[in-house]
């Protein structure tokens, strides 16, 4: 038992600032534009399309139901891509983006299902039809919820990041498979088909609403993402403080 352990020179003291990211201005602008676009697109849809032969005015529910569905899948696609990025590069920000997209996607998916159910009841007399699209959407919702629940339970940030990325990618792989197998399952039993969305009367309304929803989607995901980054920055500041305080150095203002 001999020598003392080497004591390296102490690094220079420096005032260190913890940067809280500022939300880029375009997100707020996008939200405002999206809200206006939504109102406008809904009006366009309601005013320009005649009542449907079979469904009557109920058809107008499609102007929310269908864009919601499309954007839910876009959100899911974002989750998948961000998750792949996390697995490849361990990028924490990609993880936050995936989580934000999953939350917004889950809400949109639930909205799609509720509206689909409301549409189905007067049309076919049933609250739920087991058609391919609605069923795939229901499965997608459960996958989203599972993803978010896993994030709740995995407390450690690095573990949470890796686990949700793996679950996100593997879940994404399944969505097209679910869709195709359910569609096949349906054709085998020769049950009714889904509402037509290609009637030329509806196309303008649908496209306008799709764009409006897309703007809102980006806004909501952007804002949620920004909130997560603020949370992370504040937590890092608190932790950094905890790291230093252990020395016994008081952190009260000198």
Q: Give the binding site for another protein (CB under 8 A).
A: 1-8, 10-11, 13-22, 24, 87, 139, 142-143, 145-146, 149-150, 153-156, 158-159, 162-163, 165-167, 169-171, 173-174, 177-178, 180-182, 184-185, 188, 234, 237-247, 249, 251, 253-254
Q: Are 136 and 178 in contact (CB under 8 A)?
A: yes
Q: Are 62 and 202 in contact (CB under 8 A)?
A: yes
Q: Cα separation of 86 and 164, whole Å?
A: 9
Indicate the residue among 12 and 125 with the shorter CB distance to another protein: 12
Shortest distance (Å) from residue 93 CB to another protein: 8
Indicate the residue among 158 and 231 with the shorter CB distance to another protein: 158
Q: Cα separation of 15 and 246, whole Å?
A: 19
The secondary structure of residue 23, as a DSSP letter, is P
> Which residues are paired to 52 by β-bridges?
56
Shortest distance (Å) from residue 177 CB to another protein: 5
Shortest distance (Å) from residue 62 CB to another protein: 25
Q: Cα separation of 24 and 94, whole Å?
A: 17
Shortest distance (Å) from residue 245 CB to another protein: 8
Indicate the residue among 207 and 226 with the shorter CB distance to another protein: 226
Indicate the residue among 29 and 238 with the shorter CB distance to another protein: 238
Give the C-alpha distances (Å, rounded to integers) separating 148 from 92, 153, 159: 16, 9, 14
């Amino acid at each position: 038992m001999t020598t003392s352990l080497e004591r390296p020179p102490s690094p220079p003291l420096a005032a260190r600032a913890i940067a809280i990211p500022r939300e880029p201005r375009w997100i707020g602008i996008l939200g405002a534009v999206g809200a206006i676009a939504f109102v406008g697109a809904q009006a366009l849809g309601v005013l320009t399309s005649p009542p449907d032969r079979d469904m009557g005015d109920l058809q107008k529910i499609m102007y929310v139901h269908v864009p919601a569905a499309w954007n839910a899948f876009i959100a899911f696609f974002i989750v998948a891509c961000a998750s792949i990025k996390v697995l490849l590069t361990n990028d924490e920000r990609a993880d936050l983006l995936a989580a934000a997209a999953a939350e917004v996607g889950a809400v949109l998916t639930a909205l799609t299902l509720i509206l689909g159910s409301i549409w189905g009841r007067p049309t076919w007399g049933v609250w739920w039809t087991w058609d391919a699209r609605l069923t795939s959407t229901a499965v997608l919702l459960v996958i989203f919820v599972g993803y978010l629940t896993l994030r709740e339970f995995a407390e450690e940030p690095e573990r949470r990041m890796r686990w949700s990325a793996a679950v996100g990618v593997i879940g994404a792989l399944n969505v097209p498979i679910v869709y195709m197998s359910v569609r096949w399952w349906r054709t085998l039993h020769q049950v009714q088909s889904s509402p037509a969305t290609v009637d030329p009367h509806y196309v303008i309304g649908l496209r306008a609403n799709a764009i409006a929803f897309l703007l809102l989607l980006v806004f909501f995901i952007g804002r949620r993402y920004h909130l997560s980054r603020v949370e992370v920055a504040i937590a890092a500041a608190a932790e950094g403080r905890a790291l230093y305080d252990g020395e016994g150095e008081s952190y009260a203002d000198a």
